[in-house]
Amino acid sequence: MSVIDILFRVDAICKKYDKYDVEKQRSLSGSSDDAFARLFASFEEQIETTLHKAEMAMTETNRATVVAMKAEVRRMKARLLDEVPKLQKLAQKKVKGLSQEELEIRNELVLALPERIQAIPDGSTSAAKQTGGWGASSSHKNINFDSGLDVISEGLDLLKNLAKDMNEELDRQVPLVDEIETKVDKSSAELRNTNVRLKTTLTKVRSSQNFCIDIILLCIILGIATYLYK
């Protein structure tokens, strides 16, 4: 048996047992009901082929072939991008038996399509386009950053001015405080001196017993005097 015979026989067997091929059935049934699903599936397929072609173009050594492949890729990308609006319209349509969430998912998928298509490398200006895309989105962020930074810098300027003014004010206070310190030291020394003298004088008088006796006697005399005069 030759190879070709084997191939034919394998084909025949596959056709016979197609009904057990789950994926194929699903896609067949899907395609019959939902126009969106059909179109989306075809889109996916085309994107896959384009990607494959782009990869081959990158690995190819023959320059002419590379150029031809890249041109092909670009043509397919353009065609796909043109058909995206059709798909979008279909995605908006409500289909029987489709939940709200699935509808939203479909919308998102459609929105993601142009980016995916653009992402296919066609080697021309992909790098520049990418960075250009990045630049556009980041300059918008930059503007926000810049205005925020401006506000912060104004605040910092104000803080700096306040801080410098405070610095100079404190410098002005330093010699005054030194003067106060010397004066207070002198006063406290004098006070301590006076206290010591007072203490010695008091102890000299107090420690003698006569002091207490003197006070008691004085009180008795005063009492007698009052009694006598009353």
Partner 1 sequence: MANSDPDKLIAKADKLTRLSLTRWSADWRNATALYEQAAIAYRLAKKYDKAKDTFEKASRGQEMLSSPWDAAKHMESAAALAKDLGNWNEVADLYKRASELYIESGRAQPASDALAKGARALEDALPDEAIRLYTDACETLEDDGKEQMAFDLYRAATNVYVKLEKYADAATFLLRWALAADKCNATHSQCKAYLSAIIVYLYAHDFQQAEKCHNDCCQVEAFLNSDQNRAATRLLSAYTDGDVEEIKRAAQSSIISNLDHVVSPIFHMNISIKKKTFDSD
Q: Is residue 171 near partner 1 by the rule CB under 8 A? A: yes
Select the span of 77-85, 102-110, 153-161, 192-200 touching partner 1 (CB under 8 A). 153-161
d(CA 7, CA 14) in angstroms, rounded, equals 11
Select the span of 73-81, 126-134, 154-162, 207-215 touching partner 1 (CB under 8 A). 154-162
Nearer to partner 1, 165 or 190 (CB): 165
Helices 100-119, 63-92: inter-axial angle, 10-degree rounding: 160
Nearer to partner 1, 140 or 164 (CB): 164
d(CA 109, CA 196) in angstroms, rounded, equals 96
What minimum distance in Å lies between the beta carbon of 186 and partner 1?
17
Choice from 18, 157, 178, 190 touching partner 1 (CB under 8 A): 157
What minimum distance in Å lies between the beta carbon of 79 and partner 1?
52
Q: Smallest Cα–Cα separation from 72: which of 88, 89, 96, 56?
A: 56
What minimum distance in Å lies between the beta carbon of 164 and partner 1?
4
Q: How far is CA 165 from the centre of its chain?
A: 36
d(CA 225, CA 106) in angstroms, rounded, equals 120
Is 40 within 8 Å of 112 (Cβ atoms)? no
d(CA 113, CA 44) in angstroms, rounded, equals 9
Q: Is residue 147 near partner 1 by the rule CB under 8 A? A: no
Choice from 167, 203, 208, 210 touching partner 1 (CB under 8 A): 167
Choice from 96, 141, 172, 230 touching partner 1 (CB under 8 A): 172
Q: Provide the 8-state DSSP code for 13.
A: H
Nearer to partner 1, 174 or 228 (CB): 174
What minimum distance in Å lies between the beta carbon of 152 and partner 1?
12
Q: Provide the 8-state DSSP code for 93.
A: S
d(CA 70, CA 120) in angstroms, rounded, equals 10
Q: Which residues bind partner 1 (CB under 8 A)?
A: 154, 157-158, 160-161, 164-165, 167-168, 171-172, 175
